[in-house]
Structure 1
Amino acid sequence: MANLYDGKMAAIYDAMYQTFVNYDEEYAFYNNLLQENNCSSILEIGSGTGNLAKRFDENKQNYQGLDYSESMIEIAKERNKNCSFIQGDMRDFKLENPVDAILITGRSTSYLITNSDINRTFDALYKNTRDNGIIIFDFIDANRFIPFITENVLITHEAVYENVNYKRDSHWDVNNSLENFMLDWSAEYYTVVNGKKEIIENDFSTVRVFTLNEIELFLYLNNFEILKTIDRKTYAYDTYVIVAKKKP
């Protein structure tokens, strides 16, 4: 998997996403789906710096988070003293007790770049949910995103947090030599201070986007039944959110 926001990148991610994402709306969106399915125990994969964890904790819900990045978890633990966080890989993890629902948030599915990654992840989700448990996850829609980045070579995102003006310049390359719908993503993070650009960090990842048909087939092959498909626009991406139930 990619080098996911370790060290200084964790703090930069945290600062920028405070502006990109309305976490109150994110919490309400996911919590409504959880309540519809009578879920009381929750694991969030891709819990990051604990922004959703804070909302689950405030509402006294049975929540735990899992993230690949130790640096992210350090920030999350400092921010959420009452929550449990696990450093782990979504492709291979084991909870002490299965949960009613597992969320994969923040388009973290993009880092599952091989079919084996996806099948291993769904197998781990199946083993760690209770009978008739559900999974909820989002993914970037290849049919809309690939044409968009083909026409927009440079994409800039800007965020102001604690009076600091952050910017990220993203370059996406549709690498036809790679299998599946995989993209090379490079990003330059910087601040603008007194009109001057100051580079903070550079990042590079290979990520994958999916068609809805692909995801439907992966779920079928891994013994999940789709309950709901939601077409959802996020701050920078056209996504689908899937709610699926574990089959016996």
Structure 2
Amino acid sequence: MSSLYPDEMAEIYDAMYQSFIDYKNEYIFYNTLLQKYHPENILEIGSGTGNLARHFIENHQNYTGLDYSKSMIAISKKRNPNGSFIHGDMRDFNLEQKTDAIIITSRSTSYLISNNDINDTFKSLYNNLNPNGIVIFDFIDANRFIPYLKENDTIIHAAKYKEVNYIRKSNWEVSSQDNFTLEWTAKYYRNEVDDHQIIANDYATVRVFTLNEMQLFLYLNNFEILETIDRKTYAYDTYVIVAQKKS
């Protein structure tokens, strides 16, 4: 699995994404889906710096956050001192007690590069869910995102947080050989784009998926798809899938 964000990126990520994403609306979206199945406990994978977690905790839900970045977990714990957060890898984790529902948020599935990564993740989800447990996750739609990248060499996103303007300039190189993988490079700036004043660089290999691919991975790993939602996020066309663990 490709690393999500380097530890030194945690604070920059936290600042920018609080501007990119309306976490209250994000909570309403996921919680509305979850409450159809009345889970007593919820695990969020890719909990990041705890912005979405805050809403689950404030609403007194039995919530646990899991993330690959120790630096992001540290921010989460500071932001949510009453919350439960654990460090872990979605491909191989073991909860002390199984859970009723797992959500994978913020397109964290993009960092599952190989088919083994994906199958290992779904196996871990299956093993950590109670009978008939629910998994909800999003992924970037390859059929729309790759053509968009072909037409846009550089993608710029701007965000303002605590009176500071942040800018991210991204470039993507599409691989024609490896499972719709992309080499993503990003430069981060404060206040204006000036290549002499870059505050951080980020590099990652990520993967995007077709809907048919993801449907097949779920089928092979003993999940039944209950709902598929076509959802536009701040920068990507995504699908959200709700699936249930088969007995």
Q: Does the TM-score normalized on the shorter chain lie above 0.5? A: yes
1:199 aligns with 2:205: no
- Residues 1:228 and 1:198: Cα distance change in structure 2 (over 3 Å): same
1:102 aligns with 2:99: no
1:237 aligns with 2:223: no
* Cα distance in 2 between the residues matched to 1:238 and 1:115: 22
**1:53 alignment counterpart:** 53
Give the aligned residue type for 2:12. I
Give the aligned residue type for 1:45. I
CA deviations 1:188-221 (Å, max 9, x no partner) are: 0011269997211111111000000000000000
CA deviations 1:137-185 (Å, max 9, x no partner) are: 0000000000001001100000011111100000011122x41110110
1:187 aligns with 2:186: yes
* Cα distance in 1 between the residues matched to 2:3 and 2:221: 27
Give the aligned residue type for 1:7. D
**2:139 alignment counterpart:** 139
Q: Is 1:190–1:197's contact at 8 Å kept on the other side of the alignment? A: no
TM-score (norm 2): 0.97
The equivalences for 1:142-161 within 5 A come to 142-161=142-161
* Cα distance in 1 between the residues matched to 2:78 and 2:97: 24
The equivalences for 1:33-44 within 5 A come to 33-44=33-44
Give the aligned residue type for 1:219. L
Instruction: Give how far 1:135 is off.
Output: 0.2
Task: Give the match's secondary structure for 2:239.
Answer: strand
Name the Cα RMSD after superposition: 1.4
Q: Is 2:167–2:190's contact at 8 Å kept on the other side of the alignment? A: yes
Stretches of structure 1 lacking an aligned partner (at least 5 in a row): none
Question: What percent identity do the matched residue pairs reach?
Answer: 66
- Residues 1:197 and 1:16: Cα distance change in structure 2 (over 3 Å): farther
Runs (4+) off by over 6 Å: 193-197
Give the aligned residue type for 1:106. S
* Cα distance in 2 between the residues matched to 1:239 and 1:246: 22
TM-score (norm 1): 0.97
